[in-house]
Amino acid sequence: MRKPLRCFLRAAISLLTLPPMLALAAPCTGLCLQQVTCANPFNTTRVSGRVYAPNGADPLPGVLVYVPNAPVEPLPAGAACRNGGTPPTAPLVQAITEFDGTFEVKNMPVGTNIPLVIQSGKWRRQIVIPSVAACTTTPISAAKTRFPKNHAEGDIPHFAVVTGSLDAAECIFRKMGIDDAEFSGTSDTGHIQLFTGADDAGGGYLPGSASETVLEASSTSLNSYDTVILACQNAIIDKAPAVQQNLIDYVNGGGRVMATHYEYTWLYNIVPFSGTTTWIPQSHPAPVDQLGYVNQSTPDGLQLAQWLMAVNASTTQGQIPLNVIRHDFDGVIAPSESWLSINDAVFGNMSVQYSFDTPIGTAPEDQCGRVQYLDYHVENVSASSAKAFPQECVAGPMTPQEKLLEYMVFDLTSELEPPLILTVDDRREFARYGNTATYTVTLANHTNKDLAGGATVTIALSPDWTRPMLHALACQAAAPRPARRARRAP
């Protein structure tokens, strides 16, 4: 769900979805043989829809939708460096959802039982379209384009949630639409496993829930999870440096971490995390409930602001009501990214949510993990004795702040995207006077050592292809789209 150069990815996708006569010079096998050329050169066979969270209500941006031209491969287990994305399996044609979750896949293969994959990080659902008619648009129902509620419907990332007595973060997954059967203790097979907080667990537990000390004992135990959620506990207890280093090693290798309020104790006093922002733990008095302002100066923030409007969490773009705010840091230190700030009467303009990618200090193409820190309670609960999940969860529709957390969960579990450069070999040879000319466009990756190479589209232009038609084609392929995730639905 992220990064400013997503438009170049869209350009590549546009080129990959041109009709067969303009397609990449590669052997045509499998579903490729079912693609057709429409009589109108600017028309194509399409499918359209909107991708949703598992609850089927909230649309998701930056999601990859593609047709696989081979059996879909299983996703690797546990944390791993996925810089550049989790590669799709043999994509024939593809699209990326807009900020409102909408997509349109062009140049679809025609026929019955056409496979379609919907994927963001390790969220993945595979469906089959009963029939795709040539040279028209086939809509796909929302029931088919939501992410899975359980592992029987598709792939779900593996989460470890450390429960806390002040922030029942595990409850957001229920409101996102995940079935209760996917929640388990650490000795079971659920995709959302609950560990009891060692300082003040409160929150929820299930049979087999181990202490967080078991999770944090080594980077190996952490590495079995794609994402770790550290919910605020009713205590400020510094972590041992060796345990903090386990978390650093985990995210450096591709793990993802979300921490709220008091869990700054993982970050504020150990290098390099301590240098990601200006820490001022436990500044009092705490800010009152007030409006939060989305940082729309970044592509990520702009997309978040647009999305909050799309899901009715904001009435004014870029503003959202925030509750139970705390003040443990001020401005962030680049390249950390501030997501939300407040204009407080006591503290002035200050950030209340930020993120950074790891390993800190390395080039973007070498970074693998991400940390999000939220200096407020989302699922605020009063400190109390532990309750068996889901007794600690509050029923009812999602609040604006809960929708914000929903977005950040999908953002956290999406991909890091290294820079991609679009180069155009424009030789200005046009068809004229009854002759055929050749026009070449090259997409080349010059920055990521792990994804070296590119793709070339060669177009043979007959005398019918005029300069305006070629210009329109080039603009269609390379025009930037609204900023997404992509950041890394969300």
Produce one character per residue of 466-486: b if its CB has 16 or more CB atoms within 10 Å, e if not: eeeebeebbeebbeeeebbbb
| pLDDT of the residue at 431 | 43
Cβ proximity of 44 and 52 under 8 Å: no
| pLDDT of the residue at 382 | 66
Spatial CB neighbours of 362, under 8 Å, sequence gap ≥ 6: none
DSSP conformation letters of 350-361: EEEEEEEEESTT
Cβ proximity of 219 and 242 under 8 Å: no
Cβ proximity of 355 and 210 under 8 Å: no
| pLDDT of the residue at 384 | 58
Comparing C-alpha atoms, which of 416, 382, 368, 421 is closest to residue 253?
A: 368
Cβ proximity of 406 and 175 under 8 Å: yes
State CA 80 to chain mean position distance: 16
Pinpoint the alpha helices (H) of 266-314: 299-310
- Rounded to whole angstroms, the Cα distance separating 354 from 301 reads 11
Cβ proximity of 201 and 386 under 8 Å: yes
| pLDDT of the residue at 437 | 56
Comparing C-alpha atoms, which of 386, 315, 420, 292 is closest to residue 12?
A: 420
- Rounded to whole angstroms, the Cα distance separating 131 from 437 reads 37
State CA 86 to chain mean position distance: 11
| pLDDT of the residue at 87 | 78
The SS3 of residue 186 is: coil
Q: CA 177, 73, 488, 266 torsion: positive or negative?
A: positive
Residue at token pair 């598709």: 154
The enclosing H or E element of 6 equals: helix 6-16
pTM of the model: 0.82
State CA 294 to chain mean position distance: 18
What are the residues facing 142 on neighbouring strands? none
Amino acid at 376: Y
- Rounded to whole angstroms, the Cα distance separating 445 from 45 reads 29
Neighbours of 271 (CB within 10 A): 9
Comparing C-alpha atoms, which of 322, 199, 219 is closest to residue 262?
A: 199
| pLDDT of the residue at 33 | 97
Topology (CATH level 3) of domain 159-412: Rossmann fold (3.40.50)
The enclosing H or E element of 405 equals: helix 400-412
Cβ proximity of 313 and 272 under 8 Å: no
| pLDDT of the residue at 22 | 40
Cβ proximity of 336 and 277 under 8 Å: yes
Cβ proximity of 124 and 153 under 8 Å: no
**What is the distance in angstroms between the CA of the first residue and the CA of the last residue of the chain?**
5
Q: What is the CA radius of gyration of the chain?
A: 24
- Maximum pairwise Cα distance, the chain: 84
Burial class (CB in 10 A: 0-12, 13-18, 19+), 100: middle
- CA separation (Å) from 370 to 30, 111, 220, 413, 431? 38, 42, 18, 9, 50
The enclosing H or E element of 409 equals: helix 400-412
3-state helix, strand and coil shares in percent for the chain, rounded to the nearest 5? 20, 30, 50
- Rounded to whole angstroms, the Cα distance separating 403 from 383 reads 23
Spatial CB neighbours of 168, under 8 Å, sequence gap ≥ 6: 202, 203, 204, 231, 379, 381, 392, 393, 394
Q: Would you give per-residue pLDDT tens digits along the chain (490 residues)? A: 544 344 444 444 444 444 433 444 468 999 999 999 999 888 899 999 999 999 999 999 999 999 999 999 999 999 989 877 777 899 999 999 999 999 999 999 999 999 999 999 999 999 999 999 999 999 999 999 999 999 999 999 999 999 988 889 999 999 999 999 999 998 788 999 999 988 876 777 888 899 999 999 998 999 999 999 999 988 888 999 999 999 999 999 999 999 999 999 999 999 999 999 999 998 888 999 999 999 999 999 999 999 999 999 999 999 999 999 999 998 899 999 999 999 999 989 999 999 999 999 999 889 999 999 999 998 887 655 667 899 889 889 999 999 999 999 999 999 876 554 445 544 444 444 445 555 565 555 544 444 445 555 555 555 444 444 444 444 444 444 433 333 444 5
| pLDDT of the residue at 457 | 55
